[in-house]
Structure 1
Amino acid sequence: MNMKTQIITILLSFLFIGSLSAQQTPAPKQTKDYSIVGATVHIGNGTVVENGLVVFSNGKITYAGKANPSAQKGEIINATGKHVYPGFIAADSSLGLAEIDAVRATRDFDEVGGFLPHIRTIIAYNAESRVIETMRPNGVFIAQVTPRGGTISGTSSVVQLDAWNWEDAVLKLDDGLHINWPSNFSRGRWWLGEDPALKPNKNYSKSVQNIKTYFEDAKKYLSGNRTPKNIPFEALQGTVNGKQKVFIHISGEKAIVDAIKTFNELEVKNLVLVRAHGAIKVADLIKKNNIPIIINRAHRLPNSEDEDYDLPYRTAKLLTDKGILVGLGMEGQMERMNTRNLPFYAGTFAAYGLGKEEALQLITSNNAKILGIDDKVGTLEAGKDATLFISKGDALDMRTNIISDAFIQGRKISLETHQTKLWKRYANKYKNQ
């Protein structure tokens, strides 16, 4: 075999291996009508309809409510004894921006620099990520693709999780700017011999002032003749005029108070607090300013020694009772892989005081409202996208959330992943022994 033939053989081998490991082909556009009959329909806004009917055509829901034979059309899906839910929405996730945490070349969620409002995650989004396909068997069909790092990380976008590329995936382009608010406490760098104990951050006030000055400079630029052109400042246009949301990743009640005060002074609206540990202590201020919160997963330790051990589990209940709009985000360790467990994190909040349908709202209508996509998804209502699924049991329960049929914008999607293939393979191996 000559060298040319060897090279061709090797290239073909790589192409073959790549085809085996690639994500399955996205589902084709809906061409026939569907009627799901007999199921318990969870609308997503707190309403539950027993023996319900959901009808959708051309990617849109045309009917969702009580059984109505005259509204049925197209292919009938008998879902008696099953449950229908809107597709779940993962806020504050870096899905599609990294594949293998241990391989730097696959990570593309953090750019070099501190103030990067012009960085857009959507053009880095990998629609063929094998991590993404593992979301769908649990009902997670939509995600906010969020940047990390720096003081101003950049701009997120909202995508649906069955697409050929980022252009096909987009539900809402450049939905919001993400800011990492400085902490008023810091730890010493132990690897440099500094005391690792928690202590007041002596640079906190300076860091806050830097954010304020940056926005003031941007507003001056945007209201002037804009020469020479400043691309980062140009990217803040939507934030300054109130058309784009500002997601403030923050912890601590003092920091939350300072952030609200700072952005009120800057006359920057549409704020969303993300993570917001300690928010319950300043809940009245947050409610007064009509600011929603995207909270962290419940499965974590309290943030300080004087907090109740189960406070992370009760946070959703406490904030909801204060009248604050609460959604559920995924920021944290192994966030991309763990995003598939989004409904079960919501289920944990349900086990600690929040009603089951209220917990469902954290990842359906509430997240949709916070991300500004509630006109398209989040609830099962006529006119909205037919992004939904049928489960044999409670979708917030890991044991019973077994999905039989799933649709994104009316397209019947595959629930097969490399994980389900391995599960079936080894299940058969041991069954035959």
Structure 2
Amino acid sequence: MKNTILYSLVYFLFIGNILAQQTPSPKQTNDYSIEGATAHLGNGQIIENSLIMFSKGKISFVGSANTRIARAGTVINAKGKHVYPGFIAANSSLGLAEIDAVRATKDYDEVGSMLPHIRTIIAYNTESKVIETMRPNGVLMAQITPRGGSISGTSSVVQFDAWNWEDASIKTDDAIHLNWPSNFSRGRWWLGEDPALKPNKNYVKNITKIKEYFFKAKRYLNSKKTNKNLPYEALKNVFKGTQKVFIHVNGKNRITDAINLFHELTIKNIVIVGGAEAEKVAPLLKSNNIPVVIERAHRLPSSEDEDYDLPFRSAKTLTDAGLLVGLGMNGSMERMSTRNLPFYAGTYAAYGLTKEQALQLITLNNAKILGIDKFTGSLEVGKDATLFISEGDALDMRGNILLNAFIQGRKLSLETHQTKLWKRYTNKYKN
């Protein structure tokens, strides 16, 4: 009996080791100097033949390799290569679901409609096999966002080299997420209703519910509380202006309605997510200093009378209007597709943006929108050494071949389940 128990424990430990994600790297103790690469700083600037040094997880020098300065620690010769800040995915549900076809692995949506107190960081799974596949493409951080309901819950920003959610979090509870009501609806065919798209008769009613909820929360927070209301408590920092509200909304009129409502609520720290037709209200967004997190470029126009390539040009249009624009990942197969984040940015570069502007969508712009730009998002002295070296252009899948990657100075393993299979079957068929 004892032997059976012992063998069972050994078996489960072995299986757990096979299934587990890469072991997180230890804290940086050895300094690094990356010399000779083309450095894309993430703020629109490029340094040819650069020198980047970092120590104890922070960048200590950024400049030309011609500078007469002693190289620190291990010197990496990156001549002919490219250095980038780690890419940041906004509006992603990474780590909240593993297999779309297995309901038990999904934890991004809770029962209920008004759930500002639901925190994604608690459910975030650092052992996700999907997360592991982000790093070989340079995606090293993400905003972990809830889905569903009117108020989905609270997101947090994480880095992708951690033992648990406490280690992973780089900004906890950064924003509340609200799904704006649709002004069109379809009938419930299973109840015999007409399934055709038609105006939503409850649109105004649904907006009123949101408005009343926020006003009730405000009254509660300004009153002498006897019984604690956790959902209302979760909105405290929103009214203080220290926590953002990400409003998931598309359509010119709906975006305008959302801005007007939050102006009435005296909540100014908001972000538009999705933002189809945002270009039609760009002056309103700019005057209110409201950023926009746009969707992936690889999508169809939202209406029949739009140009076929309007989704590809949206980043250029909004950037030219003077808006702060980031790139999010909401949509079909969003968790698996997040590894393609740099290539979506590359598509925007093919349709008007410069390569450095497109890079900013997933580096400094996203960092600013998520409130983490003081310590990450660009290659600057004093910021986290979260960066990578690529063979070529990291926004092009032909050049996005990572040689080294670091998170807060820790050197990462770029091995994943997929790369192991690739090597295995390459060996099988190479002859």
TM-score (norm 2): 0.98
Q: Distance in 2 between matches of 1:18 and 1:395?
A: 33
Per-residue CA distance 1:224-261 (angstroms, 9 max, x = gap): 11222111100100101100010000111111000000
CA displacement at 1:13 relative to structure 2? 2.5
Question: 1:6 deviation in Å?
Answer: 4.7
Q: Output the amino acid matched with 1:26.
A: P
Give the conservation status (yes or no) of the 8 Å contact 1:143–1:160. yes
Deviation at 1:196, TM superposition (A): 1.9
5+ unaligned residues in a row in structure 2: which ranges? none
Q: Which residue of 1 aligns with 2:60?
A: 62
Q: 1:85 is matched by which residue type in structure 2?
A: Y
Indicate whether 1:47 and 2:49 are aligned: no
Aligned pairs, number: 430
- The 5 Å alignment of 1:249-260 reads 249-260=248-259
- TM-superposed CA distance for 1:69, in Å, is 3.5
Aligned position for 1:27: 25
Residue of structure 1 in register with 2:325 after alignment: 326
Question: Hey, what does 2:14 align to over in structure 1?
Answer: 16
Aligned to 1:125: 124
In structure 2, what is the equivalent of residue 296 of structure 1? 295
Q: Following the alignment from structure 2 to structure 1, what is the Cα–Cα distance between the partners of residues 292 and 25?
A: 34
Runs of 4+ with deviation above 4 angstroms: 4-8
Structure 1: distance between partners of 2:18 and 2:88: 29
1:286 matched to 2:288? no
Between the aligned partners of 1:221 and 1:295, the Cα distance in structure 2 is 34
Aligned to 2:346: 347
The letter for the 2-side match of 1:179 is L
Question: 1:94: Cα distance to partner?
Answer: 0.5
Measure how far apart 1:11 and its partner are: 4.8
Alignment match, 2:89 = 90
What letter matches 2:216 in structure 1? D
Matched, 1:164 2:168: no
* Residue number in structure 2 paired with 1:191: 190
1:275 matched residue in structure 2: 274
Q: Look up the equivalent residue of 2:96 and give its one-letter code.
A: L
1:302 is displaced (CA, Å) by 0.8
Distance 1:71 1:269, change over 3 A: farther
1:71, CA displacement in angstroms?
A: 4.7
Instruction: Give 3-state SS (helix, strand or coil) of 1:126's partner.
Output: coil
Q: Classify the secondary structure of the residue corresponding to 1:101.
A: coil
Q: Secondary structure at the match of 2:173?
A: strand
Residue in 2 that maps onto 1:177: 176
The separation in 2 between residues aligned to 1:8 and 1:194, in whole angstroms, is: 61
Q: Distance in 2 between matches of 1:134 and 1:69?
A: 39
What do you get for the CA RMSD once the two structures are aligned? 1.1
Distance 2:53 2:268 in 1: 38
Q: Deviations over 1:257-305 (max 9, x none)?
A: 0000000000012100000111111111111111000000011111111
Q: Once the 2 structures are TM-superposed, how far is the Cα of residue 194 of structure 1 from its aligned partner?
A: 2.0
Q: Tell me which amino acid in the other structure corresponds to 1:178.
A: H
2:364 is matched with 365
- Cα distance in 2 for partners of 1:190, 1:81 equals 59
**Cα deviation per residue 1:314-352 (whole Å; 9 max; x = unaligned)?**
100000010010000000011110000000000000001
Q: What is the CA–CA distance in structure 2 between the aligned matches of 1:98 and 1:113, rounded to whole Å?
A: 19
SS at match of 2:312: helix
SS at match of 2:398: coil
Counterpart residue identity of residue 232, structure 1: P
Secondary structure at the aligned position of 1:70 is classed as coil
Task: State the alpha-carbon separation in 2 of the partners of residues 12 and 182 from structure 1.
Answer: 53
TM-superposed deviation, 1:400: 1.2
Instruction: Output the amino acid matched with 1:15.
Output: L
User: In 2, are the aligned partners of 1:127 and 1:164 still within 8 Å (CA)?
Assistant: yes
| Alignment partners' CA distance in 2, 1:174 and 1:191 | 39
Q: What one-letter code is carried by the residue in structure 2 that aligns with 1:36? A: I
- 1:99 paired residue number: 98
Tell me the CA shift for residue 10 of structure 1. Answer: 4.2
* 8 Å contact kept, 1:55–1:71: no
| Percent identity for Structure 1 against Structure 2 | 71
The offset of 1:5, in angstroms, is 5.0
Report the equivalent of 1:309. 308
Partner residue in 1 for 2:355: 356
| Compared CA separation, residues 103 and 7, structure 1 to 2 (3 A) | farther
Segment drifting more, 181-190 vs 7-16:
7-16
> Is the 8 Å Cα contact of residues 376 and 385 (structure 1) preserved in structure 2?
yes
In structure 2, distance between residues paired with 1:335 and 1:69: 46
Q: With structure 1 as the length reference, what TM-score do the two structures score?
A: 0.98
1:15 Cα shift?
Answer: 2.8
Partner of 1:37: 35
User: Is this contact kept in 2: 1:297–1:330, CA < 8 A?
Assistant: yes
Offset at 1:12? Answer: 3.6
> Structure 1: which amino acid aligns with 2:14?
F
Matches within 5 A, 1:348-427: 348-427=347-426
CA distance in 1: counterparts of 2:96 and 2:361, whole angstroms: 24
State the 1:9 CA deviation: 3.7
Post-superposition offset of 1:72? 2.1
In 1, the alpha carbon distance for the partners of 2:37 and 2:416 equals: 26
Question: Is the contact made by 1:54 and 1:64 (CA closer than 8 Å) also made in structure 2?
Answer: yes
Q: Please say if residues 41 and 65 of structure 1, whose CA atoms lie closer than 8 Å, have aligned partners that are also in contact.
A: no
Name which of structure 1's ranges 219-228 and 4-13 shifts more when overlaid on structure 2: 4-13
- Aligned partners of 1:63 and 1:71 also within 8 Å: no
Q: Offset of 1:417 from its aligned partner?
A: 0.3
Partner of 2:428: 429
Give the Cα separation in 2 of the matches to 1:32 and 1:5: 44
Give 1:263's aligned residue. 262
Aligned residue for 2:33, secondary structure, equals strand
Per-residue deviation, 1:188: 1.6
**Contact between 1:346 and 1:360, CA under 8 Å: does it hold in 2?**
yes
CA contact (8 A) 1:39 1:84 kept: yes
| CA–CA separation in structure 1 for the residues paired with 2:193 and 2:44 | 51
